[in-house]
Structure 1
Amino acid sequence: MLPVDSLYEIKNPIDLDIIYNNWYAVPEFRQNDDTSHKQESNAFKRYKEFRVHEQKMGLGIGQETNTIRTADEVTIEKESYLFALEEHLQDFLIRNLTTIKKHKLKLFEDGERRGKEYPTEVGPIDILTIDEKGDFYVFETKLSKGMDRALGQLLRYMGWVKINLAKDKNVYGIIVANKMDEKIKYAVEVTPNISLCEYEMKFDINFLDKM
């Protein structure tokens, strides 16, 4: 057993393979994974792919490479990869809206479009939801840097929703990121309709009691 508290602390893909194989060898876990349409195993594999990619760019545990890249090339590749991971984050949030216990949210639908990447005249909204009162909640997900830009985008989307959809209903904004910096915390102090949420990548393995 590796001496860590969270799977996120493990950066070596070889170690991740060992954990995955041990986990999948347990019949109860494998059965639960099959029942959930491979949700757990697919999440595990995507995380391992992230660590493999991290190694290739020299951002993880370190791996020599004969390819020399400029800082701009590394940044572009990293942001492109994070964009794919951001979509996984959006899918996870949509499937688990009930975990946001303060509000009973559901994905907004207008008969033609659903609330993921909801198209507007000012850009696509990451996730657009509505509660039981008819109030709107606009989600902006962020994996990379650029919190100030995220706040500006969110305010723009909230304004569009207020004018075009919400009318007399309230519009709230939620920024979801792995880590918030101090600047964004100061900014939301004067924007009462916006909340900040930090997520943590975590994968727990619990043995089940036998029947």
Structure 2
Amino acid sequence: MSRYAQLTQHLLANPNAQFILSFDALDKVVIGGLPASARQYHAWWANNPASQPHARYWLDAGLRASPNLKNGFVVFTNEAALETSELATSVVDESTQQELTEYVESSLSLERDLEDQIVSHLDVLEPGLTLVSRQESSDVGRLDLLARDAEGRTVIIELKAGEAKDSTIGQIARYIGWYADKEGKPPRAMLVASGFAAPVRWAARAIPGLKLVTYRVQFAFEEATV
């Protein structure tokens, strides 16, 4: 099976005519993560399967790719849908690129902050949890957090900045299957997000040992000195 086999379905799960995915997010979809050349060369993202065979996995989803190597993300565009929508703005427009960059940076920042908070307060997530590693690499993608519970069982913790999507359940299932084979017994898993739509909750019920956890962002205010 190709390392990019999950990419088409992951892209099809996003209904927007134009959307962005960070390289870090794509690392979790592509088995073994993106190659270094994907982060370094525009040619890797050429929308031409004759020269770049992996391109067919996003082309099969009806999308064209436009990378931003400096800021570490890719804009995926359904050009046919854009022609009939109010979103028909060129992705190379400077103001559009700035908005996309700010969106990616804020999303990645939130996910990093969320990861830092969970690492600092694992006992709040579940008493007895101990951290094993962060951004753990595996043959099926990169895990956000790997932990052990009070009974010594492996716990996979996946974080999402915002609401979890259907594709996240498939991602978690891959991790569980891989660790079950590696360790000889299935691990537990936790999916942490701001919310879970009903279809995601139903899908989660089909995975034994998967726990859904919601987070809330709170603001504190204090008077500034003049």
TM-score range (shorter-chain normalised) is 0.5 to 0.7
Where is the helix percentage greater, Structure 1 or Structure 2?
1
The yes-or-no answer on 1:192 pairing with 2:208 is yes
TM-score of the superposed pair, with normalisation by structure 2: 0.51
Once the two structures are superposed, residues 127-164 of structure 1 have per-residue CA deviations (whole angstroms, 9 ceiling, x without a partner) of: 01011322111111001455112111111111222222
Please list, as runs of the form range in 1=range in 2, the aligned pairs for 1:7-26 lying within 5 A after superposition: none
The yes-or-no answer on 1:180 pairing with 2:196 is yes
Where is the strand percentage greater, Structure 1 or Structure 2?
2
Shift of the alpha carbon at 1:68? 4.2
The correspondence for 2:109, drawn from 62, 73, 84, is 84
What are structure 1's unaligned runs of at least 5 residues? Answer: 1-66, 109-114, 207-211
Instruction: Pick which of 182-191 and 143-152 moved more.
Output: 143-152
* Higher-Rg member (1/2): 1
Over the aligned positions, Cα root-mean-square deviation in angstroms equals 2.4
**What amino acid does structure 2 have at the position aligned with 1:122?**
V
The yes-or-no answer on 1:167 pairing with 2:184 is yes
The correspondence for 1:107, drawn from 127, 131, 142, is 131
Partner of 2:118: 93
Is 1:79–1:144's contact at 8 Å kept on the other side of the alignment?
no
**Could you tell me how far apart the structure 2 residues matched to 1:182 and 1:88 are?**
26
Is 1:104–1:132's contact at 8 Å kept on the other side of the alignment?
yes
**Could you tell me how far apart the structure 2 residues matched to 1:95 and 1:174 are?**
16
Identity of aligned residues (%): 23
The correspondence for 1:117, drawn from 132, 135, 143, is 135
The correspondence for 2:158, drawn from 140, 157, 170, is 140
Change in CA separation of 1:75 and 1:195 when aligned onto 2, cut-off 3 Å: farther
Change in CA separation of 1:118 and 1:97 when aligned onto 2, cut-off 3 Å: same
Partner of 1:153: 171
Change in CA separation of 1:77 and 1:204 when aligned onto 2, cut-off 3 Å: closer
**Could you tell me how far apart the structure 2 residues matched to 1:194 and 1:140 are?**
11
Partner of 2:14: none
TM-score of the superposed pair, with normalisation by structure 1: 0.54
